């Protein structure tokens, strides 16, 4: 059995970065059980919250804003359902990484055939490279709202993100990432400034108001795809191992995973609410800048600025998380050293893959031209590999030979099956819609 009593299994050179013993001892000495539990949670908060927040990146902002612009508040109940799926997936990933001490890619390599592993990791790496273009495009878009050229802001952002990972420890990088998640409070504020119809918001959140049209269904696919993406799961698993979370502390990591998923989707829903209040029913958006500019006539300059700050923070966070998820996956499959705390000399593959993605993503954004085709094709590939990745996660979490008593029970198993089948069905529709579109056929 792969479960160990104590710290999860680590590679020989893989460092353990357990939470500060000073903070933990101080927390355990407090008399209030609730306050003690909260402080202990803070020492473990990180991988789940960071991974889930990174999902609200530039592509996510465009998708959520477009949902509000096209269908008003109608997609809010759908997002509640997506959140349930998201929680199920994030919790399984946290449990797998804590109880085995291994990242998701390493588990796939060990439990499945080499061909399946190679296919999954290659598709994942290619899709992530495309996503890097989107993230740096989001950084450029945010700065363009304030009149800053992309030829200035993108290179600076690329160097800062690269240096943060290469010259810092995991604990240092995690703290910076956690600070970056604070920018997401700008979206709820922007939603309030937009003066939405809160009664309608509540009704559409608690009761389904679906439209049985291809446009609504296609947007539903996009909402799932931009919320539950493979890089989030691979980053979370790799970061939990990098942090060195022990089996005894799993309950706190579980709260981090579940809480991160819920918080990030609440933020996503406020983006829908903000744009629905401002321009609901006007049609799809093609960029995050459109959503930001649309808020100004209704909510004022402050809302537009807040939207831009949120876009910048989300894109910068994802620009660090996406390449790190690829680095974790590639290094895990090869069996190489993998830690943000390692130097380039100790982890050349891990940090080399990270550097390559940063350089390519920033460089492509600086090339004049339309990046829409690349982004669309990247989303199609994400649509293909998302259910594949989720199927791997479900099979691994069901295996008692791997997790022992920590394996999925009957309820978790059925929730996982429903999640994988539902996401797979929506993803299949997206791929079919896209392929038929290449031949001029629409559903």
pLDDT tens digit sequence for 151-166: 999 999 999 999 988 8
Look at residue 15 and tell me whether its pLDDT is greater than 60.
no
Output DSSP code: residue 346.
T
What pLDDT sits at residue 431?
A: 72
Look at residue 79 and tell me whether its pLDDT is greater than 60.
yes
What pLDDT sits at residue 154?
A: 93
What pLDDT sits at residue 356?
A: 95
Domain span at residue 125 reads 44-381
CB–CB of 68/257 below 8 Å? no
Look at residue 317 and tell me whether its pLDDT is greater than 90.
no
Is 23 among the domain residues?
no
How many Å apart are CA 76 and CA 220, to the nearest integer?
Answer: 11
Instruction: Give me the count of residues in the chain.
Output: 443
Output DSSP code: residue 16.
-
If you compute the radius of gyration of the chain from its CA atoms, what whole number of angstroms results? Answer: 21
CB–CB of 150/315 below 8 Å? no
Phi, psi of 304 (to 5 degrees): -65, -40
Could you tell me the CATH number of the domain that includes residue 149?
A: 1.20.1740.10
What pLDDT sits at residue 14?
A: 42
Phi, psi of 351 (to 5 degrees): -80, -25
Residue bearing the bigger pLDDT, 40 or 311: 311
CB–CB of 53/310 below 8 Å? no
Phi, psi of 378 (to 5 degrees): -65, -40
What pLDDT sits at residue 45?
A: 63
Q: How confident is the model at residue 22 (pLDDT cuts 50, 70, 90)?
A: very low
CB–CB of 298/88 below 8 Å? no
How many Å apart are CA 221 and CA 7, to the nearest integer?
Answer: 39
What pLDDT sits at residue 36?
A: 61
Q: Which whole-number Å values give the CA distances from 50 to 174, 330, 349, 393, in the listed order?
A: 8, 20, 23, 19
Tell me if residue 383 falls in helix, strand or coil: helix
How many Å apart are CA 349 and CA 344, to the nearest integer?
Answer: 8
Is 113 among the domain residues?
yes
Lowest-confidence region among 94-98, 295-299, 313-317: 295-299
Lowest-confidence region among 213-217, 273-277, 358-362: 213-217
Q: What is the mean pLDDT of residues 417-443?
A: 78
Tell me the residue ranges of DSSP E strands in 389-435: none
How many Å apart are CA 394 and CA 133, to the nearest integer?
Answer: 30
pLDDT tens sequence across 121-160:
887 888 788 788 888 988 888 888 888 998 999 999 999 9
Q: What are all long-range contacts of 211-216, with beta carbons under 8 Å and residues at least 24 apart?
A: 211/71, 211/74, 214/433, 214/442, 214/443, 215/70, 216/71, 216/74
What pLDDT sits at residue 358?
A: 95
What pLDDT sits at residue 11?
A: 40
Is 14 among the domain residues?
no
Question: Other CB atoms closer than 10 Å to residue 161's CB: what's the count?
Answer: 23
CB–CB of 67/223 below 8 Å? yes
Look at residue 17 and tell me whether its pLDDT is greater than 50.
no
Tell me if residue 146 falls in helix, strand or coil: coil
Is 281 among the domain residues?
yes
What pLDDT sits at residue 432?
A: 78
Question: Other CB atoms closer than 10 Å to residue 343's CB: what's the count?
Answer: 12
Is 417 among the domain residues?
no
Q: Which whole-number Å values give the CA distances from 87 to 105, 140, 392, 419, 436, in the listed order?
A: 20, 31, 16, 10, 33
Lowest-confidence region among 231-235, 282-286, 332-336, 347-351: 282-286
Is 302 among the domain residues?
yes
Lowest-confidence region among 225-229, 358-362, 374-378, 419-423: 374-378
Q: What is the mean pLDDT of residues 350-377?
A: 78
pLDDT tens sequence across 166-209:
887 777 777 787 777 777 788 888 888 888 999 999 999 999 88
What pLDDT sits at residue 118?
A: 86
Number of domains in the chain: 1
Is 405 among the domain residues?
no
How many Å apart are CA 219 and CA 364, to the nearest integer?
Answer: 27
The whole-chain average pLDDT of the chain stands at 81
What pLDDT sits at residue 287?
A: 67
Q: How confident is the model at residue 8 (pLDDT cuts 50, 70, 90)?
A: very low
Is 409 among the domain residues?
no
Q: How confident is the model at residue 88 (pLDDT cuts 50, 70, 90)?
A: very high
How many Å apart are CA 217 and CA 29, to the nearest integer?
Answer: 52
């Amino acid at each position: 059995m792969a479960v160990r009593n104590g710290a999860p299994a680590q590679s020989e050179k893989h460092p353990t970065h357990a939470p500060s013993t000073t903070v933990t001892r101080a927390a355990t000495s407090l008399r209030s059980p609730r306050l003690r539990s909260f402080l202990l949670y803070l020492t473990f908060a990180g991988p789940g919250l960071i991974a889930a927040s990174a999902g609200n990146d530039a592509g996510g902002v465009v998708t959520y804003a477009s949902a509000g612009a096209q269908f008003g508040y109608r997609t809010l109940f759908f997002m509640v359902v997506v959140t349930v799926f998201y929680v199920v997936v994030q919790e399984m990933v946290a449990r797998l990484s804590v109880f085995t001490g291994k990242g998701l890619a390493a588990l796939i390599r060990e439990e499945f055939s080499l061909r399946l592993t190679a296919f999954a990791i290659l598709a994942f790496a290619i899709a992530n490279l495309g996503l890097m273009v989107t993230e740096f495009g989001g950084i450029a878009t945010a700065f363009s709202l304030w009149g800053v050229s992309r030829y200035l802001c993108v290179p600076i952002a690329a160097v800062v993100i690269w240096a943060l990972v290469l010259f810092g420890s995991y604990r240092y990088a995690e703290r910076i990432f956690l600070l970056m998640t604070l920018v997401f409070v700008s979206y709820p504020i922007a939603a309030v400034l937009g003066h939405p119809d809160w009664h309608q918001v509540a009704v559409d959140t608690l009761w389904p108001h679906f439209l049985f049209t291809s446009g609504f269904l296609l947007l539903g696919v996009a909402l799932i795809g931009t919320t539950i993406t493979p890089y989030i799961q691979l980053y979370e698993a790799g970061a939990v191992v990098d942090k060195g979370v022990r089996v005894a502390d799993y309950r706190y990591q579980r709260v981090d995973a579940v809480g991160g998923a819920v918080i990030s989707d609440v933020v996503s829903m406020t983006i829908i609410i903000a744009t629905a209040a401002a321009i609901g029913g006007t049609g799809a958006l093609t960029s995050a800048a459109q959503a930001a500019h649309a808020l100004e006539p209704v909510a004022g300059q402050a809302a537009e600025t807040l939207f831009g700050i949120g876009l910048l923070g989300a894109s910068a966070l994802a620009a660090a998380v996406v390449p790190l998820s690829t680095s974790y996956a590639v290094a895990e499959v090869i069996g190489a050293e993998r830690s943000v705390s390692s130097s380039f000399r100790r982890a050349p593959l891990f940090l080399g893959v990270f550097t390559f993605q940063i350089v390519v993503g920033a460089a492509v954004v600086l090339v004049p031209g339309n990046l829409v085709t690349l982004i669309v094709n990247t989303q199609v590939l994400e649509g293909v590999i998302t259910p594949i990745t989720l199927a791997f996660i479900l099979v691994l979490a069901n295996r008692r030979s791997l997790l022992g008593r920590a394996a999925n029970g009957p309820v978790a198993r059925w929730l996982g099956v429903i999640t994988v089948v539902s996401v797979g069905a929506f993803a299949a529709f997206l791929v079919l819609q896209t392929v038929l579109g290449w031949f001029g056929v629409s559903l």
